[in-house]
Structure 1
């Protein structure tokens, strides 16, 4: 064990559990005690070794009954396509350009017709109406980027 970094050991331990099931739910303080490290070390391992790019979704709940849940997910094959759409969306996007993004997702087979219609309803000018065109475009971009982020993996 002395040849291994403690972060590697904690990562290996968690991945061993994940090999047996699709998700693990841990309490940060308990794992820190188990490996005789500070809780922030557990945060570091989770933030750097269990990312969406690596095929993991991490959710946490704070407080007395808090936990950290790490779930192994299947990444989609077309991540480069989704990444290019995220770049195209940026921090704000016009209604016209957002329709093109949804059309591209549909035509690529990433989403079906029903999902496309739901997304279109969520980014519709009637749904996003702040009174400021610039703010509408920012909200629309945030919605689309959130959707694209979720399309990166399948549960």
Structure 2
């Protein structure tokens, strides 16, 4: 298990034990605990505790800086609309894969639909589309299919 996984597991467990679903931690304390640089903590926050995964992360830098993680429980439709609205004009394949994985894991999207959509968004399926346009086409397809799922 890598350092990123260890940090994420620790934070997830701490969040589950938190009374009100809110965890507040010091970035420097976490970095010392896991013997890593604070930017590694930032990486974990941005990749593992994103709004698409159902979290709100607030942070304040400085001597008394903190990171506050709040687990947000939203209904399926709200989550789907958030994802659709947060998709930009382009989405690369790794991002599309992560978003679909998160939607499937949260139960907002059936696994079969997630797999079919991922296949439709892949470079093999978009082979006739020029490389420089694939991310735009990928985003358009993803939005349209997710809209149908709402």
* In 1, Cα distance between equivalents of 2:85 and 2:37: 39
How does 1:77-88 map onto structure 2 within 5 Å?
77-78=76-77, 79-84=79-84
Residues 65, 37 of structure 1: alpha-carbon distance in 2 compared, 3 angstrom cutoff: same
Residues 61, 53 of structure 1: alpha-carbon distance in 2 compared, 3 angstrom cutoff: same
* In 2, Cα distance between equivalents of 1:60 and 1:66: 7
Unpaired runs of at least 5, structure 2? 90-150
Moved over 2 A (4+): 79-87
* In 2, Cα distance between equivalents of 1:30 and 1:77: 35
**TM-score for the superposition, normalised by structure 1:** 0.50
Per the alignment, residue 30 of structure 1 pairs with: 29
How does 1:7-22 map onto structure 2 within 5 Å?
7-21=4-18, 22=21
- The alignment covers a number of residue pairs equal to 85
Per the alignment, residue 47 of structure 1 pairs with: 46
Residues 10, 85 of structure 1: alpha-carbon distance in 2 compared, 3 angstrom cutoff: closer
Correspondence 1:75 to 2:59: no
Residues 74, 30 of structure 1: alpha-carbon distance in 2 compared, 3 angstrom cutoff: same
**TM-score for the superposition, normalised by structure 2:** 0.52
